[in-house]
Amino acid sequence: MNKEDTMIFGLTANTELVNEICGYLNIVPGEIAVRHFADGEIIVEPGETVRGKNIFLIQSTCRPVTEHLMEVLVALDALKRASAADITCVMPYYGYARQDRKAKPRQPITAKLVANLLEAAGADRVIMFDLHAAQIQGFFNCPTDNLTAIPLMGTYFQKELNIDAENTVVVSPDHGGTTRARYLGEMLGCPIAIIDKRRPRPNAVEVNNVIGEVEGKNCIVVDDICDTGGSLVAGCELLKKYGAKDIYAAVTHPIFSGDAAHKIQNSCIKEIVVTNTIPLEDSFLEVCDKARVLSIGRYLASIIEAISSHRPVSGVYTEVGKQLVVKGLE
């Protein structure tokens, strides 16, 4: 990659991740200021010239979601107006992804709205991790990459936990996550099972049945998002009732709203493996000691290097197993 023509900027959501990525690439993060006026308005100003540069703007739209999204939009506009040649928006966690369809009359499709806003603001390409619905890629007219953390998770369970494939089942917490569970199951050489789940209302869940054999098996429940933790914990408790032994969870995006920390800490989950697409808050760590964080920093650095060098992004997947960085939480 041509480091003279490539610049990486990070906003306020993923400061540590940005520094990690730049460390792997031996690039100094670009100077950019994010300021909030007294009335709440946001202004973002690059502190150095970006004229003719290939820009990578890194920001997850995690809590506070709308504020972080607005930072991205204002930054894109500033970079475009400053004559950047090409802007790739790296959004490890794509907020509003769960509003991807009209589940009821008169509901918005906000995931599509966000895609429109990003393109209108100046994004030439968007990189995301484990979208809640893969079809969201079709909401964009610009090139997109929906990366997955499954290879990192699979490598962790193989190398760090040394799982016994014959006595392990990968479990999807609902029917929609079957493809994700199958991917991890194929990587580990394990069968899969599915939890039959219903959502009577937002942030509420009912679990009724397990499809597949879990009795006497260790289970790995894999999902893209854990928000309040209610769905995950209820599913794991059901697995216990069906005779499962040790239960692990693997979640790409650790939102962990409300009392999720207490729910997970007091649950039958032995360990929950997450990534740093969303930084874990101190309040979570003070309560729950079951989390292990897999960093996507080296992974994203390889992706950025491939794009900057005009090489296929798909080639990076074969190297993911060598890029495992585990951050144990003491």
Query: Within a 13 Å sphere around the CA of 84, how many CA atoms are in the beta-carbon half?
Result: 27
Compute the distance between CA of residue 307 and CA of residue 143 in angstroms, rounded to an integer.
12
Active site residue 263: no
Are the C-beta atoms of residues 295 and 276 closer than 8 Å to each other? yes
Closest to 292 measured CA to CA, from 275, 277, 267: 275
Which DSSP letter does residue 225 get? E
Q: Quick check: bond before 64 cis, omega within 30?
A: yes
Number of helices (H) and strands (E) in the chain: give both, helices first: 9, 15
At position 163, the amino acid (one-letter code) is I
Tokens of 158: 């193989």
Q: Is the dihedral angle over the CA atoms 180, 215, 262, 196 positive or is it negative? A: positive
Q: How many residues does the chain have?
A: 330
Structural element, H or E, at residue 250: strand 247-254
53, 197, 217, 263: which is the annotated catalytic residue?
A: 197
**Crossing angle of helices 150-159/178-188, nearest 10°?**
40
Contacting residues for 169 by C-beta, under 8 A, at least 6 apart: 190, 191, 192, 193, 212, 213, 214, 217, 218, 219, 220, 244
Contacting residues for 10 by C-beta, under 8 A, at least 6 apart: 17, 18, 19, 29, 32, 57, 58, 59
Residues belonging to the active site:
197
